């Protein structure tokens, strides 16, 4: 595979192949764009079928971080790293330290954090090789409450934009997936007066939601047909597709899952149907915003206020999408591009 010719190359600034003989580390670090600052993005460890698949994942994910960090008003560009291997059987503390040394060689152009297949404990090992790391055990904590709060803020802004309602009182919300983010989102929505329908494949969470939140439980596949105002996908990717979109009764989609649209055409399908879609990489940015605030002098109130600004950015994107007659995802991409092409100025984040 030619990296420069890859369909996902998209002007990447730097792509680094890393190998450490002693620990067996094989990794790729991709830096998409650093106009706004050092490229921040997680380190994914995955058993890729081959090297091409790993390169494609690194390029795709690092580009996504440029857009996400720009819309979240962070002084960071976008990057990502992938380690080739099975996180359960191949990962060792020495390998993570070697990864830290590889990150360090980039002199701060890349800041690494945890992702699928890596943990806060792994970042503690990475820290032994570099100071350019976030999400270290004991310093960051679980980002999920911040992610859920961001989705909650975004959901409220979306309800205001579509239904003209300032409050969630009586608003019917279907939450798909009651994991770390979904359950907390459901709890916040319930406190704000929403009426919940929920699904999960894990029955213990369903019982908890029935008991503590008065939620109505439906079977996993039935969530798409629920008679609700808002659909909140908080489980898997690609749940908005040609099969599910025609089934939705909701007029707002606002949830935490990554890569909710199966294809770009699904954004247009939602628009045509009159469904307001909160672009996933913006509404679920609370976790990365929280990472920005962690460390010495951590101020929870300031961090959550920053996360809450997701609502205002969404409102802006909805206005732009309506004015331009484009899907909200396209309007979000355009705004992100404006922001990262411009670079970062502290006034932007004020």
Ligand X SMILES: NC(=O)c1ccc[n+]([C@@H]2O[C@H](COP(=O)([O-])OP(=O)(O)OC[C@H]3O[C@@H](n4cnc5c(N)ncnc54)[C@H](O)[C@@H]3O)[C@@H](O)[C@H]2O)c1
**What does the per-residue mask of binding to ligand X show for 194-223, with x meaning CB under 6 A?**
-----xxxx--x--------------x---
The Cα 71–Cα 236 span in angstroms is: 22
Measure the CA–CA gap between 25 and 131, rounded to whole angstroms.
19
Least distance to ligand X, CB of residue 237, Å: 6
- Single out the segment in contact with ligand X by CB under 6 A; choices: 37-45, 46-54, 72-80, 251-259: 251-259
Spatial separation of the C-alpha atoms in residues 310 and 285, rounded to whole Å:
8
Among 155, 168, 188, 234, binds ligand X (CB under 6 A): 234
> Does 287 interact with ligand X (rule: CB under 6 A)?
yes
Q: Which residues contact 171 (CB under 8 A, 6 or more apart)?
A: 159, 163, 165, 189, 193, 194, 195, 229, 230
Shortest Å distance, C-beta 241 to ligand X: 13
Q: How far apart are CA 276 and CA 279, in angstroms?
A: 9
Residues marked as catalytic: 80
In angstroms, what is the minimal distance from the CB of 317 to ligand X? 18
Residue 235 interacts with ligand X (CB under 6 A): yes or no? yes
Q: Which stretch binds ligand X (CB under 6 A): 75-83, 177-185, 244-252, 304-312?
A: 177-185
* Cβ closest to ligand X, residue 201 vs residue 312: 201
Give which of 14, 112, 8 is closest to 59, Cα–Cα: 8
- Nearest CA to 327 among 283, 279, 263? 279
Check residue 176 for interaction with ligand X (CB under 6 A).
yes
Residue 182 binds to ligand X (criterion: CB under 6 A): yes
59 binds ligand X (CB under 6 A): no
In the complex with ligand X, the residue whose CB is nearer, 106 or 122, is 122
- Least Å distance, CB 54 to ligand X, is 19
CB of 66 or CB of 130, closer to ligand X? 66
Exactly one of 256, 269, 318, 321 binds ligand X (CB under 6 A); that residue is 256
Instruction: Give the CA-trace dihedral at 338, 342, 347, 349, to 10 degrees.
Output: 50
Please report where in the chains the tokens 């309602």 appear, as a residue. 165
Rg (CA), the chain: 20
CB of 130 or CB of 144, closer to ligand X: 144
Residue nearest to ligand X (CB): 179
Rounded Cα distance between 32 and 14, Å, is: 7
**Do the Cβ atoms of 39 and 76 come closer than 8 Å?**
yes
Q: Residues 145-163, buried b or exposed e (16+ Cβ, 10 A)?
A: bbbbbbbbbbbbbbbbbbe
Nearer to ligand X, 75 or 179 (CB): 179
144 binding ligand X? (CB under 6 A):
yes
- What the block records as the tokens of 106 is 């980039």
Query: Which one of the spans 49-57, 160-168, 170-178, 328-336 is the region binding ligand X (CB under 6 A)?
Result: 170-178
Q: Is the CB of 27 or the CB of 291 nearer to ligand X?
A: 291
Distance, CA of 230 to chain centre = 19
Query: CA 77, CA 11: separation in Å to the nearest integer?
Result: 13
Q: Among the candidate windows 57-65, 124-132, 180-188, 304-312, which touches ligand X by CB under 6 A? A: 180-188
Q: Kindly state the smallest distance separating residue 22's Cβ from ligand X, in Å.
A: 33
- CA–CA separation, 245 vs 275, rounded Å? 9
By CB under 6 A, residue 178 contacts ligand X: yes
Q: Does 244 bind ligand X (CB under 6 A)?
A: no
The binding site for ligand X (CB under 6 A) comprises 143-144, 147, 176-182, 199-202, 205, 220, 234-236, 256-258, 284, 287
């Amino acid at each position: 595979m030619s990296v420069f010719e890859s369909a996902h190359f998209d002007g990447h600034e730097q792509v680094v192949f890393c190998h450490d003989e002693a620990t067996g580390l094989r990794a790729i670090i991709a830096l998409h764009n650093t106009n706004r600052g050092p490229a921040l993005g997680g380190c994914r460890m995955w058993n890729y079928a081959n090297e091409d698949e790993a390169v494609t994942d690194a390029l795709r994910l690092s580009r996504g971080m440029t857009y996400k960090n720009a819309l979240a008003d962070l002084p960071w560009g976008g990057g990502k790293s992938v380690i080739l291997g099975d996180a359960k059987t191949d990962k060792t503390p020495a390998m993570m330290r070697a990864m830290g040394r590889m990150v360090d060689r980039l002199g701060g152009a890349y800041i690494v954090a945890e992702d699928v297949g890596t943990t806060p404990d792994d970042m503690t090992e990475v820290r032994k090789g570099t100071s350019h790391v976030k999400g270290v055990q004991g310093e960051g904590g679980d980002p999920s409450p911040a992610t859920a709060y961001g989705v909650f803020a975004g959901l409220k802004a979306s309800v205001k934009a579509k239904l003209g309602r300032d409050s969630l009182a009586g608003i019917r919300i279907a939450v798909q997936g009651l994991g770390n983010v979904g359950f907390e989102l459901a709890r916040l929505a319930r406190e704000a007066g929403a009426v919940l329908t929920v699904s999960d494949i894990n029955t213990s969470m369903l019982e908890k939601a029935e008991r503590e939140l008065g939620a109505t439980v439906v079977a996993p596949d039935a969530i798409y047909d629920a008679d609700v105002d808002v659909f909140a996908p908080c489980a898997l990717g690609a749940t908005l597709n040609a099969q599910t979109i025609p089934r939705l009764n909701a007029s707002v989609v606002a949830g935490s899952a990554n890569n909710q649209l199966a294809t770009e055409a699904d954004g247009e399908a939602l628009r045509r149907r009159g469904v307001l879609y909160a672009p996933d990489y913006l509404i679920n940015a609370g976790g990365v915003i929280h990472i920005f605030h962690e460390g010495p002098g951590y101020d929870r109130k300031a961090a959550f206020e920053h996360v809450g600004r997701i609502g205002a950015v969404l409102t802006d994107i909805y206005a732009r999408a309506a004015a331009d007659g484009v899907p909200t995802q396209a309007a979000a991409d355009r705004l992100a591009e404006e922001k990262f092409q411009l670079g970062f100025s502290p006034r932007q984040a004020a």
